[in-house]
Amino acid sequence: MREIRLSLLEADVNFKVVKTFTKDIREQATGEKILKGLNPAQQVVKVVHEALTDLLGGETSVFTVEKQKTHHIMLAGLQGSGKTTTAGKLANYIRKHDHKKPLLVALDVYRPAAVDQLVTIGKQLDIPVYEEGTKAKPVDIVTRAQSYANEHQFDLIIYDTAGRLHIDHSMMDELKAIKSTIDPQDIFLVLDAMTGQDAVSVADHFHQSLGITGSIITKLDGDTRGGAALSLRKVTDVPIKFMGLGEKLDAIEVFHPERMASRILGMGDVLTLIDKVQENVDEDDMMNMMEKMMSGKFNFNDYLKQLKMIKRMGSLGGLLKMIPGAGKMMKNANVDDQQLTNIETLIGSMTKEERKKPELIRKNASRRRRIANGSGRKVAEVNRLLDTLEQQKQAVKRMGSMDPSQLDPKNPLKGMQNMQQPTQKKKRGKGKGKGGFRF
Partner 1 sequence: MGLIKKLFQSKKRKEKAQKYHIGMQKTRESVFNQLNDILANNETISDDLYDDIEELFIMADMGVDTVIKLVNHLRQTVELKAIKAPEDLKEIIVEEMFKRYVQEDIVDTNLQLSDDLSVLLFVGVNGVGKTTTIAKVAHLLMQEGKKVMMVAGDTFRAGAIEQLRTWSERVNCDFFEKAAGSDPSSVMFDAIQMAKEKNIDVLLCDTAGRLQNKQNLMQELEKIHRVIGREIPGAPHETLLVLDATTGQNGLSQAKTFNDVTHLTGVVLTKLDGTAKGGIALAIKETTGIPIKLIGLGETLDDLEYFDIEEYIYGLFSDVI
Residue 105 buriedness (CB in 10 A; 0-12 / 13-18 / 19+)? buried
Q: Which of 141, 133, 132, 142 is nearest to 113 (CA)?
A: 133
- Kindly identify the residues of this chain, within the stretch 23-62, that bind partner 1 according to CB under 8 A: none
Residue 338 C-beta: closest distance to partner 1, Å:
8
Secondary structure of residue 159 in the 3-state scheme: strand
Could you tell me which stretch among 54-62, 160-168, 389-397, 403-411 binds partner 1 (CB under 8 A)?
Answer: 160-168
Using rule CB under 8 A, residue 227 touches partner 1: yes
- Kindly identify the residues of this chain, within the stretch 360-379, that bind partner 1 according to CB under 8 A: none
Could you tell me which stretch among 107-115, 143-151, 292-300, 354-362 binds partner 1 (CB under 8 A)?
Answer: 107-115
Residue 411 C-beta: closest distance to partner 1, Å:
29
Using rule CB under 8 A, residue 195 touches partner 1: yes
Q: Could you say which of 45, 55, 103, 118 contacts partner 1 (CB under 8 A)? A: 118
Using rule CB under 8 A, residue 89 touches partner 1: no
Could you tell me which stretch among 93-101, 161-169, 342-350, 426-434 binds partner 1 (CB under 8 A)?
Answer: 161-169
Residue 336 C-beta: closest distance to partner 1, Å:
5
Q: Could you say which of 35, 41, 165, 365 contacts partner 1 (CB under 8 A)? A: 165
Read off φ and ψ for residue 244, nearest 5 degrees: -95, 135
- Residue 327's CB: how many other CB atoms inside 10 A? 18
Residues 384-419 as b or e (16 or more Cβ within 10 Å = b): bbbebbeebeebbeebeeeeeeebeeeebbebbeeb
Secondary structure of residue 112 in the 3-state scheme: coil
Alpha carbon dihedral 420, 423, 428, 434, in 10-degree steps, equals -130
**Helices of type H across 100-167:** 114-125, 138-151
Q: Could you say which of 55, 129, 228, 350 contacts partner 1 (CB under 8 A)? A: 228
Using rule CB under 8 A, residue 349 touches partner 1: no
Binding flags for partner 1, 245-274, as an x/- string (CB under 8 A): --x---------------------------
Rounded to 10°, the helix 270-280/300-313 angle is: 110
- Kindly identify the residues of this chain, within the stretch 288-317, that bind partner 1 according to CB under 8 A: 317
The rounded distance, in Å, linking the Cα atoms of 361 and 355 is 9
Q: Which of 178, 239, 177 is nearest to 203 (CA)?
A: 239
The rounded distance, in Å, linking the Cα atoms of 358 and 113 is 58
Could you tell me which stretch among 38-46, 303-311, 328-336, 386-394 binds partner 1 (CB under 8 A)?
Answer: 328-336
Q: Could you say which of 131, 155, 174, 192 contacts partner 1 (CB under 8 A)? A: 192
The rounded distance, in Å, linking the Cα atoms of 34 and 41 is 11
- Closer to partner 1 by Cβ: residue 19 or 152: 19
Q: Could you say which of 29, 76, 104, 121 contacts partner 1 (CB under 8 A)? A: 121
The rounded distance, in Å, linking the Cα atoms of 61 and 13 is 21
Residue 132 C-beta: closest distance to partner 1, Å:
16
Report CA torsion sign: 182, 188, 191, 196: positive
Binding flags for partner 1, 230-249, as an x/- string (CB under 8 A): -----------------x--
- Closer to partner 1 by Cβ: residue 12 or 302: 12
Binding flags for partner 1, 205-224, as an x/- string (CB under 8 A): --------------x-xxxx
Could you tell me which stretch among 56-64, 162-170, 345-353, 390-398 binds partner 1 (CB under 8 A)?
Answer: 162-170
Residue 303 buriedness (CB in 10 A; 0-12 / 13-18 / 19+)? buried
CA-to-CA separations, 322 to 282, 329, 394, in angstroms, rounded: 20, 12, 24
Using rule CB under 8 A, residue 323 touches partner 1: no
Using rule CB under 8 A, residue 173 touches partner 1: no
Strands 240-244 and 252-254: antiparallel
Q: Which residues of the chain form contacts with partner 1 (CB under 8 A)? A: 6, 9-12, 15, 19, 78-82, 84, 111-121, 124, 165-167, 192, 194-199, 201-202, 219, 221-225, 227-228, 247, 317, 330-331, 334-336, 338
